[in-house]
Amino acid sequence: MEENEQPTGGPYFVGKKDELIEAKRSFRTLEDRDILIIHHQGVFYALDSYCYHAGGLLQNGDIEELNGRLCIICPKHKYKITLAEGESLYKANDPRDPQPVPRWYSKGMKQRTHTVTEINGEVFVKLSKSQGWLESDFFQGEKGKLERAKAEAAEQKEKEKKKEKKKLENTK
């Protein structure tokens, strides 16, 4: 291994603690993997940047507490993902309950999360590879990147159509 080369998985230096706290959310690419680093309520979290469901960018997602757990809400389809574990949560009624009350259920781990450590004011991320295949892994590979690019192009085309339609309506 060369002098400055790091072993696979890290930990990788991702920034100074104060700068990451100020930014609240930061994007990094580590080993060709796009990672979102979040500082929320005094804690750092790191997870794959693209939602496991359809590759939506999580960076602009709201953070809410659901059932006592902090979750990021995918802005694209509103999927709820726990920040600490990468579990997907959904709300439903138990049909066997005589008086059904909606409650939160887990779909299991879907989004890859990564370990964050802070040493002497510097923040490091160690990539997680231990859970086997997770659905968010798809959007880190070549096929997932192509799918994201197609979806982004379609969204852009739709925005342009709406803009043109509005422009035509305003000229009438």
- CATH number for the domain spanning 106: value is 2.102.10.10
Q: Which domain holds residue 32?
A: 12-140
Residue 152 lies in a domain: no
pTM of this structure:
0.83
Query: Is 20 a member of any domain?
Result: yes
Report if residue 67 sits inside a domain: yes
In a domain, 148, yes or no: no
The CA distances from residue 84 to 101, 142, 159, in Å, are 26, 26, 34
Residues in the chain: 172
Q: Would 160 be classed as within a structural domain?
A: no
Domains: count for the chain:
1
Residue at 155 is within a domain: no
Answer yes or no: are the C-beta atoms of 55 and 148 closer than 8 Å: yes
Is there a domain that residue 6 lies in?
A: no
Per the CB < 8 A criterion, the answer to whether 134 and 111 are in contact is yes
Q: Does 1 fall in a domain?
A: no
Residue-by-residue pLDDT tens, the chain, 172 positions = 344 444 567 899 999 999 999 999 999 999 999 999 999 999 999 999 999 999 999 999 999 999 899 999 999 999 999 999 999 999 999 888 888 889 999 999 999 999 999 999 999 999 998 778 999 999 998 888 888 888 888 888 888 888 888 888 887 6
